[in-house]
Structure 1
Amino acid sequence: MLLLLMLCAAASASSNVTLSLEGTLVKAELAPHSPTDLFIQHTNTNYSDFYVPQCHARKYNFTLATGSTKETSSSVGNDIFNSDSSMTLINDVNNESIPVYCVYTSYNISAPVPGGCNLEFNFENDPNIHSWYDGFRLWLEFQYASVKRLECDDQKGWDYLTYSVYAIYLQVAGDQDTNFSDMLRDVITPAGIESKGTKIIEHTQAQSNKPALVVTSYPDQGVFIAVIVEDKLTGHKSAYVPRVSYGCDIDRHTSGHPCQVQWYYYLLAAVITVAGLFITFLGHRFFAYELFIMGFLTGLLCGFIGLLAARVSVIGLAGGSTLIGLAFGLLWALLWQCAGVVLLCLILPAANGGFLIASIITYSPLVNIKMFDSWELWLIGAAIMVFTFLAIVIWSKKVNIVICSFLGAYAIIATISVYCGASLHHIVIETVRRASVKEYSDSVFSAPFSVVDGVLVGLWATLTVVGYAVQFYTEKSKPDFPVSPRKKRLSRKLNAELEERERLLNDPNIRNADEYGTLHT
């Protein structure tokens, strides 16, 4: 009886996962600090093939061991041949059971072996994409592939292998585990990656460079990074083990969603929405309030860039930039109160409008063109701002209304984007990063654009047109710009003096008085 209990306990302490169908996901629960054996029962009788078994966890790291060799990650696999048919999964990082999804793919031996020329990492053939997140960018590195006919150090064969890097974005809305597993099925084979992903860069092996790159990444936005290696001589393709990232360090976010946007950013987004609604439909009519909002947005942006560059805490970043924005908004409204020079006060609306237009340009694959370096992008942005100011000088009223509607509409849809998991609010974030993060322009730009984003772009255009129509109709019979309070006070004072002078001149007692210098006796 005691022996039976011991056998039952041993059976419960270790579990097995068997992969019998190629391309079929098998979900397993890894108990903490308990090994789970992974077996492949392939049906392919061609013993010249090789296999890439792999396991993935959405938000946890775990260890995959082949013999005495181990690799720890949230997405990890290995190249194995028929002599190696089993591996071990170990949940040695977490104190709770974690779900993992395992699958395998097979390739003809003539196909490139992903990571077959590994010189740095643990496995002899390492098909994994190694990544780390620095708070703004995703750093990626993988090992070159090998082919049967060539040695790894044979430079003559390097030009025949090309490495295409793809980004496949996950939906932010909905059940994240379901989104993760559904997308994982499509990104384990070259055909699935090509149909679902967006190619962000193509790499060819050279003696002087490593297979490494830096990609833009955004908090709370899940993305699979996948690499396809193609032998151009034979046409065979193989896929590396895809790597998922949520724009954060998963070691610090192990509960709920891998990395959630903090609540005070949602609150700030709601405040900006109210301001956006106001300037979209009433900004030009209430000119002083428009200037305060423009000053607030400018100060908020500049403060955010400065504090981000200083690497202050997250709370300090949100609170400090908000205070700077309020102070700058009051200052700019006070400038209007005191000086009352319209063109001087319109500098900020023009700059903000030009800044947003320039940000739209930088939030596009155009920035991946080699001819556009960091300085050229900033010069293009400055030129757009100058052009916007010249336009507002010539057509002051109309252009100011357009800018109010354009900026206000973006403030509205950016907040909707934050709440519904779209990506349009990243337009400004991308420019802020380029201004505050050193060498950020060296990153390969990649960003999602979903159906929701397309709907929001249409809503943005509609709000801009409707806002312009409403403001232009209500203001068409009024002066181009209101008179500043200081000029009103001066005008009232001058009118009072004129009225007093006129009253004195028309007073009969004063008019009939003796002329100045008359002597009375």
Structure 2
Amino acid sequence: MIKVNILHVLLIFILARTISCQNISITLPLNKTISWGNREIYGGFANLNASSTLQVDFTNVNKNISYIIFQVHSHLHNVTLYNNTYIKGSYISGTNVGLYSSIKPKLDTFYVYNPNVNINLKLYLSVHGYEKSDPIPGGCNMEFPIPISPFIQTSYNKDYILVDAAAARDSSDMICNTLDKVVVFFYKMYLPERNYDADTYFDGIKNMITMDAIDNFGEFIPENGDRMRRMLSAYPGTGAVYVAVAISTLNVSSYSVYVPTYSYACSPLVDGGCELLDDFLSQILCASLLFVGLFICFFGHRFFKTEMFLVGLISGVIITYIFISLTADLDRPALLGASVLSGICFGAIWLLFWWFYGIPLIAVLLSTLNVGFLFSAIIYYGLPGGLLALQVDLNFWTLFVLVMLMTSLMLVSMTFLSNILCCSILGAYATIFPFDYYLGSSLKYIIINTVRRAVVPQFNKAILSPPFEWRDAIISLLWVALATSGFLFQHFQNRGRPPFPPPPRNIRPVPSHLYYGTTESRRRRYETATTVIPTAIHTERTPLLG
């Protein structure tokens, strides 16, 4: 009885394995009418079992088309696409792949292989038909493994994403001698932040697969010096779909669309692969910013000496982080640890300066410089790409420092109010930073992109173009609300008080009325000065010695 049960289980396992590895074949009709804005003549989903192959043939081909681009899209897991023969130069592996086939003498038969063990895939199959005058995407390929490579390749690291495409070939140029006859434009579309759902991914691909869809949903990526490559700042956890369009310069109605691709700038399949802060020290520092930010935003000026230390600490951390990153190769925990230690020393030095000298103008200057730095970073964060003049480091940093200094000089002229304003702005930004991290929005990259520009090689060519979705809108409103309420609260809290407290040890003489607690309040001084002391009235009856 036991042997019979074991035999049944074995037969069931073999049968299930055979079914899961079975190869299937489909035939797609290609008789759909094409238009200028939509060259997709077939689009539909197919399921492919683990370790199985899908054979695709075609029938009823539209007589107006000269060639097709057959493309396959899979979410997260790679597939292998090849035609007729599975030899080197005839296949490509990836999540977004496509191959070219001419109508004459006949269309190729395509095969889609699922190399993943125990993983069944949902695929989106799309066929685009083009006329004889349309340029061939990837027709002048010199780097990719396929002679004609109509697909796009993406690569990424923690700082930026590279999007590469092979040069397109004009229909009249058989040997690629006139690359200037075809111009290639790149577009992108962000997916919802922190959303790795397959349906969201497929919707994003379909929204960037035709020219009409690209016009509706795509955002143009300007050229940054490389004709067939785009570098973009990485926002891990926020998916983006990328596509390129080849347009003939001789006839702008002739075009072709490359196979769209995507990137999350991270790996959702790896546990913690999309975490920006993946070490304990970074997470502790991020969480502590919430309490530090709230304190500075609402009580910074009231506790002036503590503010001096914290502003010096933050400035020291940023400066040291950039300096060490440029001079040494350390992992992030060690880099942050060294930066925090240096920042503590810098904050102590700045506090001692106030402790002994007590010059309000100099003390407030560092806070205004920090606000100027933040303002310059916001401008850089929102700049459109393609500004070749700002790719030169000398031009960029000169303009950056100029905006920073001008902002500081405008604020420092009103010392008392500017210090309260700086506390509210800086404290509010420090407060929203942890919220921004945990919600998955992008305002934290105001500072991160500026630091990247300073320390990451070739980041001057990166297009920032950050996403702005509902999470970003909420965080922005929270920032404005915190900064406004913090300024009003501190201004009301310090009403009637001297503008700055006295330094504990002052080695220079300073008028005493500038500090807390050394004189009566302004209202008391005014009342005392305006009070008239009545004098006695003398008459002839008043004694002479009275």
1:194 maps to 215
Distance 1:7 1:178 in 2: 31
2:269 maps to 254
Matched, 1:466 2:485: yes
Distance 1:19 1:458 in 2: 53
Q: How do residues 118-133 of structure 1 correspond to structure 2 at under 5 angstroms?
A: 118-133=141-156
Could you list the runs of 5+ residues in structure 2 that have no partner in the other structure?
1-9, 30-40, 511-546
Query: 1:139, CA displacement in angstroms?
Result: 2.2
1:379 maps to 398
Bigger drift between 386-395 and 180-189 goes to 386-395
Q: 205, 208, 222: which is aligned to 2:239?
A: 222
1:275 maps to 292
Q: Name the amino acid aligned to 2:286.
A: A
Q: Secondary structure at the match of 2:138?
A: coil
Distance 1:39 1:448 in 2: 38
1:55 maps to 72
Query: 1:123, CA displacement in angstroms?
Result: 1.9
Bigger drift between 129-138 and 185-194 goes to 129-138
Q: 122, 134, 143: which is aligned to 2:166?
A: 143
Matched, 1:102 2:124: yes
Deviations 1:239-292 (A, max 9, x none): 1112212224x4xx6335752223544443221122111111111111112122
Distance 2:244 2:222 in 1: 10
1:422 maps to 441
1:46 maps to 63
Q: Secondary structure at the match of 1:358?
A: helix
The 1:175/1:212 distance shift into structure 2, 3 A limit, reads: closer
Distance 1:319 1:98 in 2: 45
Q: Secondary structure at the match of 1:294?
A: helix
TM-score (norm 1): 0.82
Distance 1:384 1:47 in 2: 58
The 1:107/1:396 distance shift into structure 2, 3 A limit, reads: same
| C-alpha contact 1:362 1:377 (8 A) present in aligned 2 | no
Q: 370, 374, 387: which is aligned to 1:356?
A: 374
1:80 maps to 101
Q: 463, 470, 474: which is aligned to 1:451?
A: 470
The 1:422/1:18 distance shift into structure 2, 3 A limit, reads: farther
The 1:467/1:70 distance shift into structure 2, 3 A limit, reads: same
Distance 1:296 1:161 in 2: 54
| Number of aligned positions between the proteins | 479
Matched, 1:185 2:206: yes
Percent of pairs with identical residues: 27
Distance 2:286 2:11 in 1: 64
Query: 1:394, CA displacement in angstroms?
Result: 1.8
Q: Name the amino acid aligned to 2:112.
A: L
2:335 maps to 317
Matched, 1:13 2:34: no
Distance 2:118 2:332 in 1: 29
Query: 1:402, CA displacement in angstroms?
Result: 1.1
Deviations 1:483-506 (A, max 9, x none): 122239999xxxxxxxxxxxxxxx
| C-alpha contact 2:205 2:261 (8 A) present in aligned 1 | no
Distance 2:319 2:20 in 1: 58
Query: 1:85, CA displacement in angstroms?
Result: 4.3
| C-alpha contact 1:225 1:244 (8 A) present in aligned 2 | yes
Distance 1:284 1:75 in 2: 55
| C-alpha contact 1:273 1:415 (8 A) present in aligned 2 | yes
Query: 1:38, CA displacement in angstroms?
Result: 4.2
Query: 1:167, CA displacement in angstroms?
Result: 1.6
Matched, 1:162 2:183: yes
2:91 maps to 70
Distance 2:190 2:211 in 1: 16
The 1:461/1:371 distance shift into structure 2, 3 A limit, reads: same
Bigger drift between 328-337 and 283-292 goes to 328-337
1:500 maps to none
| C-alpha contact 1:368 1:445 (8 A) present in aligned 2 | no
2:515 maps to none
Distance 1:365 1:30 in 2: 46
| C-alpha contact 1:25 1:185 (8 A) present in aligned 2 | no
Query: 1:220, CA displacement in angstroms?
Result: 2.1
Distance 1:7 1:410 in 2: 61
Bigger drift between 377-386 and 317-326 goes to 317-326
Q: 420, 423, 426: which is aligned to 1:404?
A: 423
Distance 1:28 1:295 in 2: 59
| C-alpha contact 2:134 2:248 (8 A) present in aligned 1 | yes
Q: 303, 312, 320: which is aligned to 1:303?
A: 320
Query: 1:293, CA displacement in angstroms?
Result: 1.9
Q: How do residues 200-239 of structure 1 correspond to structure 2 at under 5 angstroms?
A: 200-201=221-222, 211-232=228-249, 233-239=251-257
| C-alpha contact 1:17 1:28 (8 A) present in aligned 2 | no
The 1:376/1:202 distance shift into structure 2, 3 A limit, reads: closer
Could you list the runs of 5+ residues in structure 1 that have no partner in the other structure?
492-521
| C-alpha contact 2:194 2:238 (8 A) present in aligned 1 | no
| C-alpha contact 1:30 1:90 (8 A) present in aligned 2 | no
1:172 maps to 193
Kindly report the root-mean-square deviation, in angstroms, between the aligned alpha carbons of the 2 structures.
3.2
Q: Name the amino acid aligned to 1:169.
A: Y
Distance 1:169 1:266 in 2: 26
| C-alpha contact 1:19 1:104 (8 A) present in aligned 2 | no
Query: 1:144, CA displacement in angstroms?
Result: 1.6
Distance 1:99 1:307 in 2: 46
Distance 1:19 1:341 in 2: 82
Q: Which runs of 4+ in 1 moved over 6 A?
A: 2-8, 488-491
Q: Name the amino acid aligned to 2:23.
A: S
The 1:211/1:152 distance shift into structure 2, 3 A limit, reads: farther
Distance 2:95 2:180 in 1: 32
| C-alpha contact 1:60 1:98 (8 A) present in aligned 2 | no
Distance 2:243 2:235 in 1: 17
**Counting helix residues as a fraction of each chain, which structure ranks higher?**
1
Distance 2:365 2:479 in 1: 24
Matched, 1:116 2:139: yes
Matched, 1:336 2:354: yes
Query: 1:29, CA displacement in angstroms?
Result: 4.7
| C-alpha contact 2:384 2:463 (8 A) present in aligned 1 | no
Q: Name the amino acid aligned to 1:163.
A: V
Q: Name the amino acid aligned to 1:364.
A: G
Matched, 1:288 2:311: no
1:515 maps to none
Q: Secondary structure at the match of 1:454?
A: helix
Distance 2:13 2:482 in 1: 71
